[in-house]
Amino acid sequence: MTIAGAASRAAVRSAGERDLLVEADGPSRTGRSLEARVQALARALVDRGLSGQRIGLWYWNSAAAVEAHLAVEWVGATRVPVDPGAPAAEAQAVFAAAEVKAILVDGAHQQLAGALLHDNDEPLAASGGLEATAVPPNRTALLYPRMAGAGGLLAVPISYANWAAGIRLNAWLFRSGAYGPGFGDDERFLTAQQLPHGTGILGSFPFLHMGLPQVLLRRFDADAFVDAALRHRATATFFVPGMVTRLADALERSGRTVVPPLQRLLYGGAPIAVGDLVRAVERIGPVLIQVYGRFEGGWPLAVLGVDDHARIAAGDTALAASCGRPVDRVELRVRSVPGQPPGRGELSVRGDTVVTEYADPDGWCALGDVAWLDEAGYLHLGGRLDGMINTGSYHVYPREVEEAIAAVPGVQGTLVRGEPDPTWGEAVTAYVVPEDPTAGEQLTERIRHTLEARLARYKLPKRLHLVGSLDVPPPGPTDSEKPTSP
């Protein structure tokens, strides 16, 4: 057994009167005030019989969002977060499929019946102490949803032990210099991506566990990011690739070439085209660090460091097709699979960050990525074995989009897949056979309108084709499948 939230409670308490959370344009929390608010919220959850239960979270980035994440952990419960940009229908579907017992929301997400409001202005609180809660290490701490459809919920059950291992790994990567040299006690993280995604395990919560402050940007905007980084002296952040290119564009518009305080900009989830990557290094400075990982296997599993990016900017474009060298503290192997040439196969990982439900009896977690290692030890990826679409670092399962399209009146059949795209890596692409062959823009608009009400924006097809049959040619190779074979 382990004590739920013991490490985060100790870190918050030890911070005392030092600021731990600062909203870019809002309130701040010292360690003492954060502990008091989280404890009061946790006590309110206990009073409602929610200890150890599944609790939904639907928040834009804020101090209250961090409080909600911590309070659920401190009572030994399971967090079920939904992207704050998702429509209410998708959030409701996820929470229903996850069978949550309660939902915590901020003021912008009160449309779900029975949701409990906890935000900066109206905290959910109860008086009284909070007893330590013992939990088995394999209890799910974070149920990360990927798809809710007719087949139920597809989600990754990250245990309390997995979560703790991921926090330890990332804290070590910061402290050891793997995320850039010169890491010290004056570091300040800027949470720009939404908390439920990669930034939580890679930066936001590791910084909190290290007792180091962070700035919270409610929603990402490149100009607002530059302003917040300068005003609050932010030294580290995590982006998805599209955010990197937007920051480079913003700096180019402003005539700046760097964001002076920023020492380490982690990004991951999808490749960046070589030209965009070189321009980003030139504009943002020698601070880019690519990370590769999966929630079911661990974040990160490989790192492409600052020096690697300098080599890319100097002309080593082959290195840009890599996702870095494997992390020392994880065990990776490439397992041969039918249809792949020698040296290529499915990437598998073993270690403390591996989710048990995804592992074989020997502890190996097969990740579904086709991969190979080059002679210099760099990891390369070459597509997926399961058809999952990786669009701008977000994972989209075709079946979920196909079910949503099939429900639209006038649709006879549909096929959804990822196709190469210079901006997104892969674009969600839908082929639709209409019941009426003369259907045109009216059906297209009906599909788009229906999907906007049911799915998060990143799941919406960027290309939608009306076709006579679903016998369509295969897509061309993605950038990651081009000429860097072993």
Task: List, as one string, the DSSP characters of 363-420.
Answer: S-EEEEEEEEE-TTS-EEEEEESS--EEETTEEE-HHHHHHHHHTSTTEEEEEEEEEE
Each residue's pLDDT tens digit in the chain (486 positions)?
A: 889 999 999 999 999 999 999 999 889 999 999 999 999 999 999 999 999 999 999 999 999 999 999 999 999 999 999 999 999 999 999 999 999 999 999 999 999 989 999 999 999 999 998 999 999 999 999 999 988 877 788 899 999 999 999 999 999 999 999 999 999 999 999 999 999 999 999 999 999 999 999 999 999 999 999 999 999 999 999 999 989 999 999 999 888 878 889 999 999 977 788 899 999 999 999 999 999 999 999 999 999 999 999 999 999 988 988 999 999 989 999 998 888 888 899 999 999 999 999 999 999 999 988 999 999 999 999 877 777 788 876 778 888 899 899 999 999 999 999 888 877 778 899 999 998 888 888 899 999 999 998 888 889 999 999 998 888 887 765 443 433 323
Residue-wise pLDDT tens digits, 184-243 = 999 999 999 999 999 999 999 999 999 999 999 999 999 999 999 999 999 999 999 989
Q: Which residues contact 16 (CB under 8 A, 6 or more apart)?
A: 30, 31, 32
Tokens representing 352?
């403390």
| CA–CA dist 166, 246 (Å, integer) | 28
d(CA 6, CA 381): 37
Token representation of residue 330: 């994880």
Single-letter amino acid code for the residue at 254: S
pLDDT in tens, 57-82: 999 999 999 999 999 999 999 999 99
- Enumerate the domain spans of the chain: 1-239, 390-481
Tell me which CATH code domain 1-239 carries.
3.40.50.12780
CA–CA gap between residue 385 and residue 346 (Å, rounded): 8
CATH superfamily of 390-481: ANL, C-terminal domain (3.30.300.30)
Please check whether residue 295 is in contact with residue 144, taking contact to mean a CB–CB distance below 8 angstroms.
yes
